[in-house]
């Protein structure tokens, strides 16, 4: 069946099919729980650094390992979702994520074992590539930006990790956060297996093995263009969600709990803005929304280079970046829903999502290295401002031309 024929099946004619709200809600909750697990190491990074006498760069590597694994893992996970559906892949991924969570909480006692646990903890981050094609198939084209934006709000699981991990540990012991997250994953895995259903519009992908399908997806011009946008938008969000506590502690001498709560505020705003970006894209187009977002990120990153006081200057700048990065992530996946062939949405989501996660892996390493050499972060934020400017120009150039060509 062609992608054009597939796009006219139930759920794409302008009316949400029965059950779509329940499926979207369940997928979003599951995504949030998996991202909660994925982000567990970030709030504890400096604590592990003190416990095991780690350098700033080693702490950066520790919190970044789950990010890169969760990102690269989205490529095969997206292809598997196209093949087997979310009803199989979502509960399976959640159940398997329990193992590294318990390993870190009860077994890992050196940097090496923490890195091993963090490597497999990345599985929680791959669930993004399950949820986007799942939600995309449940909603009509005019509603997909909003629906995928709402699903993307599940990235607020990182905010839950920032808010809760340190207080739970302080109140109930070192293992408590890992036990609670494992229980949440187990409950979701069971409920998802019983309740989650693939859309009537979904048809299993075909057309060769995983490598052949992935190569065909990577060769799509839209895949490469959207990967760049998401690498900067979502990658920037991930980078700040994992490294902002360390930055705030080093640059503004905050206590770990205070830094974690402020990071959670950054994450919450970005999460709120993600469905806003998707909804605005349904109305004004993903290109226009992305352009405004990257202009804002460029401006606020430049403000941080000036080393303003935490209140109000730096706080306003970080919240402005959170809004821009969150909205751009929603806008980019509104473009994915518009530009990806219907039978390759999972695969395109996997590649684009991997690019976003990889975009989140590099900045913490750069920030850690810059701070180790210079004792401040000016160069790192200067590079962020320059990158946002380049992305703004790229959005207004090649990406806009591609969307116009597809619309014509």
200: domain CATH number is 1.20.1250.20
CA distance 77 to 90: 10
Overall size of the chain counted in residues: 408
CA distance 130 to 189: 14
- Counting Cα atoms < 13 Å in the Cβ hemisphere of 122 gives 26
Q: DSSP assignment of 114-183, as one string?
A: HHHHHHHHGGGGGGHHHHHHHHHHHS-HHHHHHHHHHHHGGGGHHHHHHHHHHHHHHHH-TTHHHHHHHH
Q: Give Dmax over CA atoms of the chain in angstroms.
A: 60
Give the Cβ contact number of residue 18 at 10 Å: 10
How many structural domains compose the chain?
1
**Which residues neighbour 287 within 8 Å (Cβ) at sequence distance 6 or greater?**
335, 395, 396, 399, 400, 403
pLDDT of 15 reads 58
Question: Which tokens sit at 41?
Answer: 């190491």
Dihedral class, residue 11 (left if φ above 0, else alpha if ψ from -120 to 50, else beta): left
Question: Which tokens sit at 245?
Answer: 């506590």
Q: Of the candidates 363, 287, 402, 374, which has an alpha carbon nearest to the alpha carbon of residue 63?
A: 363
Q: Is residue 2 part of a domain?
A: no
Q: Is residue 4 part of a domain?
A: no
DSSP secondary structure code for residue 27 in this structure? H
CB–CB of 131/192 below 8 Å? no
Q: Is residue 328 part of a domain?
A: yes
Look up the pTM and report it.
0.72
Q: Is residue 3 part of a domain?
A: no
Block mean pLDDT (10 aa), the chain, length 408 = 36 60 93 91 81 80 83 84 88 95 90 91 89 85 78 80 84 91 96 90 67 76 86 82 78 80 83 87 88 93 85 89 90 78 71 78 72 73 87 89 72
CA distance 186 to 251: 39
Domain that holds residue 90: 18-407
pLDDT of 1 reads 34
CA distance 315 to 251: 13
CA distance 349 to 81: 10
pLDDT of 11 reads 42
Q: Is residue 197 part of a domain?
A: yes
Q: Is residue 241 part of a domain?
A: yes
CA distance 132 to 337: 9
pLDDT of 366 reads 75
Q: Is residue 221 part of a domain?
A: yes
CA distance 176 to 168: 6
Q: Is residue 245 part of a domain?
A: yes
The beta strand positions in 293-335, using DSSP E, are none
């Amino acid at each position: 069946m062609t992608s054009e024929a597939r796009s006219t099946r139930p759920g794409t004619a302008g009316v949400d099919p029965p059950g779509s709200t329940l499926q979207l809600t369940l997928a979003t909750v599951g995504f949030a729980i998996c991202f909660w697990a994925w982000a567990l190491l970030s709030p504890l990074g400096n604590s592990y650094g003190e416990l095991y006498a780690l350098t700033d760069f080693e702490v950066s590597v520790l919190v970044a390992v789950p990010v890169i694994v969760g990102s690269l893992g989205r490529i095969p996970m997206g292809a598997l979702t196209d093949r087997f559906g979310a009803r199989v892949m979502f509960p399976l991924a959640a159940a398997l994520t329990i193992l590294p969570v318990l390993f870190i909480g009860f077994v890992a006692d050196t940097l090496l074992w923490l890195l091993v646990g963090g490597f497999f903890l990345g599985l929680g981050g791959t669930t993004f590539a399950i949820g986007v094609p799942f939600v995309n198939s449940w909603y009509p084209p005019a509603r997909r930006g909003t629906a995928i934006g709402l699903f993307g709000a599940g990235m607020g699981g990182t905010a839950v990790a920032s808010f809760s991990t340190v207080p739970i540990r302080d109140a109930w012991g070192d293992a408590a956060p890992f036990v609670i997250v494992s229980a949440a994953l187990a409950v979701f895995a069971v409920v998802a297996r019983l309740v989650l259903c693939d859309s009537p519009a979904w048809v299993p992908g075909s057309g060769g093995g995983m490598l052949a399908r992935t190569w065909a997806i990577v060769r799509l011009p839209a895949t490469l263009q959207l990967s760049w946008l998401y690498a900067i938008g979502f990658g920037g969000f991930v980078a700040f969600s994992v490294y902002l506590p360390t930055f705030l502690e080093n640059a503004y001498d905050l206590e770990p709990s205070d830094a974690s709560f402020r990071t959670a505020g950054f994450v919450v705003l970005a999460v709120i803005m993600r469905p806003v970006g998707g909804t605005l894209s349904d109305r004004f187009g993903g290109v226009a929304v992305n352009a405004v977002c990257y202009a804002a990120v460029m401006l606020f990153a430049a403000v941080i280079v000036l080393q303003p006081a935490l209140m109000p200057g730096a706080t306003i700048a970080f919240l402005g970046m959170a809004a821009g990065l969150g909205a751009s992530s929603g806008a980019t996946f509104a473009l994915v829903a518009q530009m990806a062939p219907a039978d390759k949405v999972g695969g395109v989501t996997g590649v684009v999502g991997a690019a976003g996660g990889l975009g989140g892996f590099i900045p913490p390493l750069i920030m850690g290295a810059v701070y180790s050499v210079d004792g401040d972060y000016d160069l790192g934020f200067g590079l962020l401002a320059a990158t946002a400017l380049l992305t703004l120009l790229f959005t207004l150039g090649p990406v806009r031309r591609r969307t116009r060509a597809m619309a014509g």
